Structure 1
Amino acid sequence: MHMADALISPAVGTTMWAATAGTAAYSIKKIQNDIDEKKIPLMGVMGAFVFAAQMINFTIPATGSSGHLGGGLLLAILLGPYAGFLTMASILIIQALFFADGGLLALGCNIFNMGFYTCFIGYPLIYKRIMSKGYSSTRIFIGAMLSAIIGLQLGAFSVVIETLLSGKTELPFGTFVLLMQPIHLAIGVVEGLVTATVVKFVYNTRPEVIEKASLGHALGDISIKKVLSTLAIFAVLTGGILSWFASAYPDGLEWSMLKTSGKEELDAPNGIHQTLEKIQEKTAFLPDYTFKANEEESLEDESQEAWPAVSSGTTVSGVVGGSMTLVLACIIGIITNIIKKNKKKEKTKAV
């Protein structure tokens, strides 16, 4: 559900940039209550894991479409909503800048659509309320499923609203919304299953991680080495190998656009759209998660000979992109922790 710049107007793009920046600033302020030296690496590893997971598109039977994990709910459950939102922002920034996955003008829309609804609506209003009655496999499954579905439905509906407000007549509201919502319902079911599986593993391994995230507490003296190492291994395997077998079908957004307008992509107008596209062409060294030299070849040559070049580019993208996300998420965590410590020092001096 990564929106391209061609889908939105400059006014909508800048408005959503402002909304996302405001939410990020608020999250940085609030995360200071529970950030510590152990949550920082967890943010990085979770960011790498979700980055890798988003590379795997799974086929939606009988539709000719595919979907991928969003990951916002999973991040909120393991990190708390504020750290979860900031980690999602890290993932999407890396994807847009270096892999041309989602536009730069649309980056604010993408972060908001994939991060806000899961972290600040699905997690606190649905998941936590279900878990308030006690943790169990059944409640984790129900909570993850309902939260993932509703969060994704809200995100998909926001895409439709953003294109409507941008005046994209190629995507009439009625037709577009009737395609976007059902296809993302199917994607939400798979996301719920994956989220529940990962949460169950973490809860069985270190339940304190999830409990402290729910309470907004720092991890303290909890040992999370097993959780970190397992998630790191899965991130490498997912991004480096399993991503080779991602579905080639268009994702839910592209499929809905194709059925609505006859095209998977809209033409970007001149002006700021073209300017940002040129910037992205320079920063994206692995566009669409493959080497630039092989990108056109893979589009023209769908034979088996082209597959090794594409898969090697996918492996590099998964490992490098996951590593870059890990670093960026950790940097955000480190800066936030420094701010927290400086504020404590100032309060101590004042006393």
Structure 2
Amino acid sequence: MHMADALVTPMVGCTMLIAAAGVTANSVNKIRNEEDIQNKIPLMGVVGAFVFAAQMVNFSIPGTGSSGHIAGGILLAAILGPEAGFLSLVSILIVQCLFFGDGGLLALGCNIINMGFFSCFIGYKLIYKNVISKNYSKKRIMVASILGSVIGLQCGAFSVVLETLTSGVTKLPFTTFLIFMQSIHLAIGIVEGIVTGLLLNFLYQNRPDILEKAAITKSYNITKKKVISIILASALVIGGGISLLASSHPDGLEWSILKTSGSEELTANDYIHEKIVEVQNKTAFLLDYGFNVDNLSVTEEIIGKSIAGIIGIVITIGIIVLITHLSIRGKKLYVVNDNVNEIEEKFKDK
């Protein structure tokens, strides 16, 4: 569901970027107050890396000629909490946009809201959390995962349609585009929900304490360190290997555009769009998840995509860890200031 720049005007793109920045700032403030955030950093890094790798794997939607990939918001929020999950997804989208050219730079705010906000704060907080509010069980986790994923993607898909409508993309008539977007992302959401439920049930079976606020009712089958190692190893295998088997069919958004307008991609040739594309082409040194070198053999292209996936995993972990450490650093500064103010108040009383 990564939107391209041609789908939005500078006004819409900037407005959504401001909205995304606001949600990001609020999330930073929230995780700053979490007592266990320091211990959560390794988990944030590897789960974020896993979602980055999983998003490289497009699966075919039978009978449609379309494909989809998981957004990962419900998975991240269920493990890390909605705010930390959202920040991890923001990091993933930034890495994809700047270094791989996946999603437009002007449309980055749209993609953050569409894929991150609706999954982490609507699909998770309003749906997933309420379904499992009474108690955790494998069945409840699966149902909550499917419902949360479907609702999150449906909201995100509807938001894409509104953003293109507001931008005046006349080649995408509202009703027709809406029908295709909602229907195809319903199918994608069901698949993502099942995958998410299976992964979360694995964690519930082995380390229930890793799930956000899950009741600890049994002994752990494996150590937390081993869980982190398994997630990281899985990310490397998916990003460096399984991603090579990804479907070549257009994703849900591209398919919907094709069905609506007759073309998979729309173009915008005004000055602002052209300059933004120039900037993104300079930062995207692994454009389309490969090395931008001419005359590569098939084997070299495969190796290049595999290496690109692994590089993306490493960069994603680095960005997530950096953002989290900066948030903690801010927390420490606030603590110091609070202590100083408290001491000053005591002296004043004396």
TM-score category (smaller protein): over 0.9
Q: Structure 1 CA distance, aligned partners of 2:298 and 2:158?
A: 35
User: Are residue 241 (structure 1) and residue 241 (structure 2) matched?
Assistant: yes
Q: CA deviation at 1:340?
A: 1.3
Pick which of 199-208 and 64-73 moved more: 199-208
* Long gaps (5+) in structure 2: 216-221, 343-350
Q: How far off is 1:211 after superposition? A: 3.7
Residue aligning to 2:313: 322
Identify the range of structure 1 (312-321 vs 51-60) with the bigger mean alpha-carbon deviation: 312-321
Aligned to 1:81: 82
2:345 maps to none
Q: Distance in 2 between matches of 1:271 and 1:328?
A: 31
Q: Is the CA contact (8 Å cut-off) linking 1:8 and 1:166 kept in structure 2?
A: yes
Deviations 1:29-86 (A, max 9, x none): 0111225222111111111110000000000001000000100111111110101111
**Is the partner of 2:211 in helix, strand or coil?**
helix
| Conserved? CA contact 2:208–2:214, under 8 Å | no
C-alpha displacement of 1:223: 6.0
Instruction: Indicate the residue corresponding to 2:302 in structure 1.
Output: 311
CA distance in 2, matches of 1:312, 1:80: 36
Letter aligned with residue 305 of structure 2: T
Question: Does 1:273 pair with 2:273?
Answer: yes
Distance of 2:212 and 2:95 partners within structure 1: 29
> Retained in 2: the 8 A contact 1:55–1:68?
yes
Contact 1:78 1:213 in 2 (8 A): no
2:129 maps to amino acid = K
What amino acid is the match of 1:293? V
> Would the aligned equivalents of 2:290 and 2:308 in 1 still touch at CA under 8 Å?
yes
Structure with greater Cα Rg: 2
Q: Which ranges of structure 1 fall in alignment gaps of 5 or more residues?
A: 215-221, 299-305
**Match runs of 1:1-351 below 5 Å:** 1-34=1-34, 35-212=36-213, 224-294=224-294, 306-351=297-342
**Residue of structure 2 equivalent to 1:217:** none
Deviation at 1:213, TM superposition (A): 7.7
TM-score, structure 2 normalization: 0.93
CA contact (8 A) 1:79 1:213 kept: no
- Contact 1:98/1:287, CA 8 A, preserved across alignment: yes
- TM-score, structure 1 normalization: 0.93
Q: For this pair of structures, how many residues does the alignment match?
A: 335
**Helix, strand or coil: the match of 2:288?**
helix
C-alpha distance in structure 1 between counterparts of 2:33 and 2:145, whole Å = 25
Q: Once the two structures are superposed, what CA deviation does each residue of 1:267-286 show, in whole Å capped at 9, x if it has no partner?
A: 12211110010011111111
Is the 8 Å Cα contact of residues 80 and 213 (structure 1) preserved in structure 2?
no
Q: Secondary structure at the match of 1:256?
A: helix
| Partner-residue secondary structure (3-state), 1:66 | strand
Which secondary structure does the structure 1 equivalent of 2:135 belong to? coil
Letter in 1 for 2:300: A
CA distance in 1 between partners of 2:193 and 2:28 (Å): 27
CA contact (8 A) 1:17 1:108 kept: yes
Distance in structure 2 (CA, Å) of the matches to 1:234 and 1:226: 12
Supply the AA of the counterpart residue of 2:203: V
Q: Deviations over 1:74-126 (max 9, x none)?
A: 11111101011111010000000010000000000001100001111111111
Q: Distance in 1 between matches of 2:195 and 2:56?
A: 14
CA distance in 2, matches of 1:309, 1:108: 34
Question: Is the 1:77–1:213 Cα contact (8 Å) retained in structure 2?
Answer: no
Q: Residues of 1 paired with 2:163 and 2:269: CA distance?
A: 16
**Following TM superposition, by how much is the alpha carbon of 1:293 offset from its aligned partner in structure 2, in angstroms?**
1.5
Give, in whole Å, the separation in 2 of the partners of 1:55 and 1:204.
Answer: 27
2: CA distance, partners of 1:202 / 1:337: 26
